[in-house]
Structure formats: C-alpha cells, structure tokens
C-alpha cells in the first residue's frame, strides 16, 4: 500500500510514521490524514503538544471546534497523556492500556463500525529526551492496541536521517515497528539526493552494485528504496556511508 493510499484510506491495524526535520514538513501530512477521515465520517484522536496542534489545526479544512462538538475530534495533550502511564523511565503496559486504550474505546463507542484515526507524538517526546528504549516500547504497546481496536495510527519523529548513528541505531527500530515508514516528507527528493551522492562517491558501477545488493538482501516493503540503501550502506560500509550521507544532505537541502 502506498503512502498516499494509507493517508486516504487508513485501514485498521496499520501503523505509519513520518520522519521530519521541520514542523512544516509534518503538518500537511497530519492534516491530510485527519481530513480524509472526517470526510468519511471517521473520528480522530490527536495526542499532540499544544504548539504542534496549532500547526495541525491550520491544515484541517473543517472547523476543529465544531468537529469536537460533533464528537469527531478528540484531543489530548501529549506530555500529560505520557505522564499517566510512565513508570519512571519505563512505560507501564497496564496503564497504557487503561489510558490510551480507554481513549480509543470511548471514541469508538460514539462511532460504531468506523475506523478511529489516531495521531500521536508521545514517542517523539521520549525520543527527544534521549529515552529511545521507552519510545520503541511505546510503539510496541501501540501495536498491541491496534490488534484489538479498529484503529489506524500515524506518528512522527523529528530526527536527522543524514546522521550515521540515526541510520544504524535509530531508524532500523523505527522501521521495524511500523507498517508504513516514511523517512522524509518528499521521498522523490530524497531518492534523487541519495542516488547522486552514491554515484559521486562510488562511481556508477559500484553504485549499481550497491542497488543490486540491497535488492537481493533487503525485502521489498513500503520503505522507500533510498532509505533502504542508506541503512544497508551505514551498516556494512560505515566509512563510505558517512561520505554518501554528507553528499546526500547537501543535495537534499539544495533541492528544497
């Protein structure tokens, strides 16, 4: 399923993530995801920080207050919700089920047979605090909820995909816990930047060999091929990856 189709149809149990560097890259995605649901009569749960909610609300074509009055939009503060189920530095599975599962159940009771569209950024708050293990643990708890609820989830991480550590220790876990990983808002721009940098650093023949190796060893999924190449190269050829990442960063920025 393509990224666009996920945003429009949002099948239950699907769990998507967008990686972004600036909020204006994420806000249109969240707005499109929510708007498509509202047009179909599907309710939404938004668990976000107040500042981010202001940006998301600006991307929604309908009046947010009216949507809340009609029961189609439920908002929760991400920091406050996170605090309800964290046990020190570790999320409590029982309290997560009680708090977040309870929110989904309340919304679903008002709209039987409808898919609930949820957006959450509690994982990114944990990630920005440096608690990456807890962020991935919360992703796993979300996946468990999605198995028993008619819900589709979109979340987001603000991180630098052109950083070698991100490619080796962060993104693999993010990719693993999502059905639809999106490493950049504009994947065509990312693909061009990676291809040009890879060819410049290695030459066309060696670059072609990398593409072939990735095609042979990395299963075809919804992960854009350019990100699969960066993850493979970062794991197997880190010194080369640093040069490719640096070159891709420059090209990606110039093409903005």
Show the beta-strand stretches assigned E in 8-138.
15-20, 44-48, 73-77, 86-87, 90-91, 116-120
The whole-angstrom distance between residue 9's C-alpha and the CA centroid of its chain comes to 16
38 Cβ contact list (under 8 Å, min separation 6): 44, 60, 62, 67, 72, 73
**Has this prediction a pTM greater than 0.75?**
yes
What pLDDT sits at residue 41? 94
Task: Return the CATH number of 3-161, one of 3.20.20.70, 1.20.120.420, 1.10.357.10, 3.40.50.300.
Answer: 3.40.50.300
Contact between 58 and 26 (Cβ < 8 Å): no
The Cα–Cα gap between 10 and 240 comes to: 38
Average pLDDT along the chain, 256 residues, taken 10 residues at a time: 93 96 96 96 97 96 93 96 96 97 96 95 96 97 96 97 96 95 95 97 96 87 91 96 97 90
Q: Is 2 helix (H, G, I), strand (E, B) or coil?
A: coil
Residues of the chain with CATH 3.40.50.300: 3-161
What pLDDT sits at residue 104? 97
The Cα–Cα gap between 171 and 160 comes to: 10
What pLDDT sits at residue 256? 77
Contact between 165 and 241 (Cβ < 8 Å): no
What pLDDT sits at residue 12? 95
What pLDDT sits at residue 139? 98
Beta bridge partners of 91: 86
| Chain segment 127-173, per-residue pLDDT in tens | 999 999 999 999 999 999 999 999 999 999 999 999 999 999 999 99
């Amino acid at each position: 399923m393509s990224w666009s189709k996920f945003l429009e149809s949002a099948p239950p149990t699907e769990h998507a993530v967008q990686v972004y560097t600036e909020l204006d890259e994420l806000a249109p995605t969240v707005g499109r995801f929510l708007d498509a649901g509202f047009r179909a009569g599907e309710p939404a749960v938004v668990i976000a920080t107040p500042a981010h909610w202001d940006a998301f609300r600006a991307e929604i074509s309908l009046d947010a207050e009216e949507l809340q009055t009609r029961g189609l939009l439920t908002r929760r503060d991400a920091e406050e919700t996170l605090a309800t189920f964290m046990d020190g530095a570790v999320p409590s599975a029982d309290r997560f089920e009680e708090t977040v599962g309870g929110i989904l159940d309340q919304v679903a009771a008002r709209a039987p047979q409808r898919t609930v569209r949820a957006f959450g950024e509690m994982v990114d708050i944990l990630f920005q605090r440096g608690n990456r293990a807890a962020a991935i643990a919360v992703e796993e708890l979300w996946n468990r909820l999605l198995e028993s609820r008619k819900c589709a989830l979109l979340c987001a991480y603000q991180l630098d995909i052109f950083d070698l550590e991100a490619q080796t220790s962060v993104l693999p876990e993010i990719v693993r816990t999502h059905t639809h990983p999106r490493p950049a808002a504009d994947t065509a721009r990312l693909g061009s930047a990676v291809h040009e940098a890879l060819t410049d650093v290695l030459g066309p023949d060696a670059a072609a060999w990398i593409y072939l190796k990735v095609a042979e060893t990395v299963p075809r999924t919804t992960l854009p091929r350019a990100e699969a190449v960066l993850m493979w190269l970062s794991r197997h050829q880190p010194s080369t990856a640093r040069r490719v990442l640096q070159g891709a960063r420059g090209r990606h920025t110039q093409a903005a």
